[in-house]
Structures are given as structure tokens and as C-alpha cells.
């Protein structure tokens, strides 16, 4: 059972799983998630093991159907694992364990920008004065101050995701979970938001787990990239991104090392994408 083709993938992560010291923020061991469907059990994630170091920007990249969103939902506690374990090193007391930025529109349409950004803090019963301070600060950082009283339907897609970012950062979580937050944005907005995210993150030094299907995005933002295969979701490789910080998105992309890293990742992903396409069944 263990001698499946998945073996090679295990190897690829061996150094990633090597029992790290105190710097390990998240430790995932043999994580498996199955869903029951009409056609029988569907394995979304198959014995995933990896670790995320504290304060790192950790990217998960894979084709659609590789279970990366499921992985994030498991880490957020929105789903229960079928087997295996997720261990998260306890953060400072009083802080939320994680905050998620969702792929879809997730800010409440019935709250204005300010109330949306303040949501996490209010749910935790943070004193009003502190809320005013923190929310004001993050609206400023995301360029939303002028829109504090606007409702989401008055905002563009990019603005809405800025609100989602502000809400997550204002909540000051120990770990930030991001599920393809920019995938629905146009190229210009995406680049702008990536810049903004990097800037805010540089100041916050949070552990980030960021999911994307875009290799470019992964190389631009990440410290480490976990490459996944599809159907079932397994680990293909763990790649270190050598670029220094702080980074400028456009400058980084102009560099030849950037291009060759992207190419390298693409090459190893290509077969996965093709396999996924062949296995795709009409729903």
C-alpha cells in the first residue's frame, strides 16, 4: 500500500518534514482527506506531510483538483481530516490561531468597509478604542480609508479583496491562510495587490500559507513553494525561493533568475496538469 508512485513525492518532502526545531509553526503529518461521493470515496488529499517555518511565506501550488483548497480548509478548522494530523505551535495568548482570506467574495455585503474590517476584532470582544485604532491603521495601509463607509456593492473586485485583506490583518492572527485571494482579479490589480500584500506582510512578520494555481504568483510572493499533484492530492516537490526581501514585484519579474525558476517549476508541473486533464470526468 505504501509502495505507490507517491513514494517519490514523499522523498521530495523528506527534508521538509525533517523534524525541525522550535521554528516550526505548522507540522502536517500523513494528512488524508476523503470525501464521500455517489461514486464512492474520493481522496482529495493523500498522506500529505510537510512543515511550515515560523514567519515564512509558504506557497502551495498545484493544478485545479489537487485538493489545495481542502488543505487550507483543514488548516482553518473548517473541515476535519480523515486521518493524519495537523499540529500548530501555539501562538501568543489572546491572538486568534488563524484568519482566512477566501477566494470568492467573502466580505459581508450587509456591512460597510469599516464594519467588515472590524469583524474579527468585534467577534473577539476587543475594546472599542483598540478596534478603532487597528482598523483605521489597516484601512490606511490598504488605501481604503476614503471608502470606510462604502458598501461592498459600491466597490470593484480589487477593492473588495483589499477589504478581505484588511479584515484578516486587522484580526492579527498567528497564521494567515490565503486561498487564491487574487485569482479573480485582472493582471494589473493582481500585481498591485501583491505589492501591497508584501508590504503589509513585511511589517507584520506573520506565517502565511498562500494557495495559488499561478506559478508566477508563487515565485513572486513565496519563501518556499510546495508543489502538489492532482487526483489524489500529493506532494511533488518542495522548492526554496532564493530571492531576498523586501521584494518589488516588477523588479523581481525582470530578473533572469526569476524566469528560470518559473520555468523549472512549470516543467515539473506540466505532466501533472496533463494527467489531471486526462483523469477529468464530466460532473
Q: Which is nearer to other proteins, 17 or 70 (CB)?
A: 70
Determine contact, residues 176/139, Cβ cutoff 8 Å: no
Closest approach, Cβ 175 to other proteins, in A, equals 11
Give one word for 251, left, alpha or beta, with left for phi > 0 and alpha for psi -120 to 50.
Answer: alpha
Q: Which is nearer to other proteins, 169 or 191 (CB)?
A: 169
Closest approach, Cβ 148 to other proteins, in A, equals 14
Closest approach, Cβ 54 to other proteins, in A, equals 21
> Where would I find the H helices in the chain?
6-17, 68-76, 113-117, 119-123, 128-141, 157-170, 187-204, 215-221, 249-253, 256-279
Closest approach, Cβ 211 to other proteins, in A, equals 15
Chain positions contacting other proteins, by CB under 8 A: 76-78, 96, 98-100, 102, 104-106, 108-111, 119-120, 123-124, 151-154, 167, 171
Q: Which is nearer to other proteins, 61 or 100 (CB)?
A: 100
- Tell me which DSSP letter residue 213 carries: S
Q: Which is nearer to other proteins, 50 or 119 (CB)?
A: 119
Q: How far apart are CA 219 and CA 224, in angstroms?
A: 8
Question: Which of 19, 62, 91, 6 shows the shortest CA–CA distance to 225?
Answer: 62
Amino acid at each position: 500500500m505504501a509502495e505507490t508512485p507517491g513514494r517519490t513525492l514523499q522523498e521530495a518532502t523528506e527534508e521538509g518534514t525533517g523534524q525541525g526545531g522550535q521554528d516550526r509553526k505548522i507540522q502536517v503529518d500523513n494528512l488524508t482527506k476523503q470525501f464521500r461521493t455517489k461514486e464512492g470515496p474520493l481522496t482529495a488529499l493523500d498522506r500529505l506531510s510537510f512543515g511550515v517555518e515560523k514567519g515564512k511565506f509558504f506557497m502551495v501550488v498545484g493544478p485545479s483538483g489537487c485538493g489545495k483548497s481542502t488543505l487550507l480548509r483543514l488548516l482553518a478548522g473548517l473541515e476535519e481530516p480523515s486521518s493524519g494530523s495537523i499540529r500548530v505551535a501555539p501562538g501568543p495568548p489572546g491572538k486568534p490561531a488563524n484568519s482566512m482570506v477566501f477566494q470568492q467574495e467573502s466580505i459581508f455585503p450587509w456591512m460597510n468597509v469599516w464594519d467588515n474590517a472590524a469583524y474579527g476584532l468585534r467577534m473577539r470582544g476587543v475594546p472599542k478604542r483598540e478596534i478603532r485604532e487597528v482598523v483605521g491603521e489597516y484601512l490606511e495601509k490598504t488605501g481604503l480609508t476614503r471608502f470606510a463607509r462604502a458598501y461592498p456593492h459600491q466597490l470593484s473586485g480589487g477593492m473588495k479583496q483589499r477589504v478581505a485583506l484588511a479584515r484578516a490583518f486587522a484580526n492579527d492572527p498567528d497564521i494567515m491562510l490565503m486561498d487564491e485571494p487574487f485569482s479573480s482579479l485582472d493582471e494589473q490589480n493582481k500585481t498591485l495587490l501583491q505589492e501591497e500584500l508584501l508590504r503589509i506582510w513585511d511589517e507584520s512578520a506573520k506565517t502565511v500559507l498562500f494557495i495559488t494555481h499561478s506559478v508566477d504568483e508563487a515565485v513572486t510572493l513565496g519563501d518556499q513553494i510546495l508543489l502538489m499533484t492532482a487526483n489524489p492530492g500529493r506532494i511533488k516537490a518542495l522548492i526554496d525561493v532564493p530571492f531576498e526581501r523586501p521584494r518589488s514585484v516588477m523588479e523581481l519579474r525582470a530578473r533572469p533568475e526569476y524566469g528560470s525558476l518559473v520555468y523549472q517549476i512549470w516543467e515539473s508541473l506540466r505532466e501533472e496538469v496533463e494527467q489531471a486533464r486526462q483523469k477529468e470526468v464530466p460532473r
